[in-house]
Amino acid sequence: MTLKGALIGCGFFAHNHMQAWAELDGAQIIAVCDRDPVKAKAFAEAYGAKPFSDAATMLAEIEPDFTDIATTSPSHRPLVELAARHSRGAICQKPLAETLEDAEAMVAACATAGVPLLVHENFRWQAPIRAVIDHVRSGMIGKPHFLRLSFRHAFDIYDGQPYLAQTEDLALMDIGPHVFDMARALMGDVEQVYCQTQKLNRRVAAPDAFLAQLQHAGGGISSLECSFLSHYQPERFPQSLLVIEGNLGSIELLEGFRLRVHAGGTVSEFDVEPPVPVWGEKPWHLVQESVVAFQRHAIRALNGKEPGQPTGADNLKTFALTRAAIASAATGTAISLSHST
């Protein structure tokens, strides 16, 4: 069965959603909406769907199997609540919401309506990160006790996404959800966070770099290092680099999609570069292929064939951790999470 979908938000990143939906069997976007009718019309013409400029009108008319929300976070709560009333499944872009109260209300609205909520958290679906997760879960490095994850670049993200220059808590709210989700996927729930921020770029309103130290429930610790003004040649964006160590071995994810595994007294190196989608191009293929991988998974999850990765309920923990990191940076203190996240 082909799931009938409706997309809300015809902006910068939604092109990736639409290209990926078009390449996948099992789902078809039949309607698109943007509050800017010019953008909705352009998407409708480019991707073959019916355009709308009001989400409530579209969902009431289409009653889709799922709603794919690709707007920025101020609109996520009302749109997820709307989707919970009018569709049988909802997918929301990160960050889940602006406040923890909104995020909790969104998860509750979908749970009450019996509508599955997935969060478009595609970094854990990037081919190199999937390879690291698979190696860790195979047990070959034993129990992980240390993670260092680095997302540092100087790519001009403000060109395609000008609103970021004015985004409050910029690095933590934009890239924080991605790196906290990857850390939780690799190291488990988080009990405490200590975070420091830096504002490096004079063009932007809020801190564009952070260093977060996590204490995980199982005893492991993580150091997450992010910056939007770190110059390297060649430019590393959008790669995440990491090292994860366990009692039996270590894994390094190195620049250029090289995965190096130290285990059993030997070292092995693998190429974990993703393929370039037919509609994609390097170096964006890392992100583009991850959107295909996430949405392929979303079709299976919406059909009840596998648990969502991540669900709204799981991503609520990542979002609580993001807000705790912001509070830590503001107060200069470590913040304990009341429920493990």
Ligand X SMILES: NC(=O)c1ccc[n+]([C@@H]2O[C@H](COP(=O)([O-])OP(=O)(O)OC[C@H]3O[C@@H](n4cnc5c(N)ncnc54)[C@H](O)[C@@H]3O)[C@@H](O)[C@H]2O)c1
Using the rule CB under 6 A, which residue among 21, 31, 67, 73 binds ligand X?
73
Least distance from ligand X to the Cβ atom of residue 319, Å:
12
Binding mask 274-313 toward ligand X (x if CB under 6 A, else -) reads -------------x--------------------------
Q: Which of 39, 135, 184, 216 binds ligand X (CB under 6 A)?
A: 39
Q: Figure out which of the listed residues 3, 18, 29, 55 binds ligand X, where binding follows CB under 6 A.
A: 55
- Kindly state the smallest distance separating residue 128's Cβ from ligand X, in Å: 15
Q: Is-contact 80 120, C-beta < 8 A?
A: no
Residue 155 contacts ligand X per CB under 6 A: no
Q: Which stretch binds ligand X (CB under 6 A): 10-18, 133-141, 256-264, 330-338?
A: 10-18
How many CA atoms, within 13 angstroms, populate the side-chain half-sphere of residue 159? 3
Binding string, 90-129, against ligand X, x = CB under 6 A? ---xx-------------------------x-x-------
CB of 269 to ligand X, least distance (A): 27
Options 4, 24, 28, 35; binder of ligand X; rule CB under 6 A: 35
Q: Which of residues 162-191 bind ligand X (CB under 6 A)?
A: 163
Is 11 or 142 the residue whose CB approaches ligand X more closely? 11
Per the DSSP assignment, residues forming a β-bridge with 27 are 3
The CA distance from 213 to 220, in Å, is 11
Shortest Å distance, C-beta 225 to ligand X: 19
Closest to 104 measured CA to CA, from 297, 320, 248: 320
Taking every pair of Cα atoms in the chain, the longest distance, rounded to a whole number of angstroms, is 62
